[in-house]
Amino acid sequence: MAAAVLPIGVTVAMVGSAVSGAEHPATLSVVVSDAGSTVRDSCPADEYTGSFFDGAEVALLDGAGAVIEAATLDGAPRPSPHGCHWTTEFADVPDHAGFTLRLRGDGVMPREHSWAYTPEQLDDNDWRLWVTVFA
């Protein structure tokens, strides 16, 4: 799998393999990870209570800024070789000229992050995104 990092104050890694053709998969898979976690963290839910990630909203927007679908991060993240993370999927994503992935948290240090993608960028990454931010 190839990985590309786009510097914008937070790290966004797009992971996947190329897909041929103009059709896209019906599902966009999004992994949100804590950049401050390590492979050694057990990722207990109580460590995230009140943090940026606690109840954060992950939303997929169309090119006009309308929400296509949204999900909420809850519970304990999963440990991995890349630190603690949550996974969500957006099913039946309609065709649009562009998309925005928005991560908004109201916990400690409330803030919002957003990243714009073309359908071609998502195709190049098999409609899978890995977004990493600091709590």
Average model confidence (pLDDT) for the chain? 84
Task: Identify the CA nearest to 58 among candidates 1, 124, 113, 12.
Answer: 113
Strand partners, 69: 60
Residue 21 DSSP class: S
Q: How sure is the predictor about 6, in pLDDT bands with cuts at 50, 70 and 90?
A: very low
Q: How sure is the predictor about 25, in pLDDT bands with cuts at 50, 70 and 90?
A: confident
pLDDT (0 to 100) of residue 67: 98
- Whether 5 has a pLDDT exceeding 50, the answer reads no
Integer distance in angstroms from the first to the last C-alpha of the chain?
27
Ranges 21-30, 53-62, 87-96: which has the least confidence: 21-30
pLDDT (0 to 100) of residue 84: 96
Q: What is the pTM of this model?
A: 0.79
What percent of the chain is predicted at pLDDT more than 90?
71
Task: Report the CATH architecture of 38-133.
Answer: Sandwich (2.60)
Q: Render pLDDT for 38-47 as a digit per residue (tens, 0 to 9).
A: 999 999 999 9
- Whether 132 has a pLDDT exceeding 60, the answer reads yes
- Whether 24 has a pLDDT exceeding 80, the answer reads no
Instruction: Order the strands of the 111-117 sheet from edge to edge.
Output: 67-72, 57-62, 99-105, 111-117
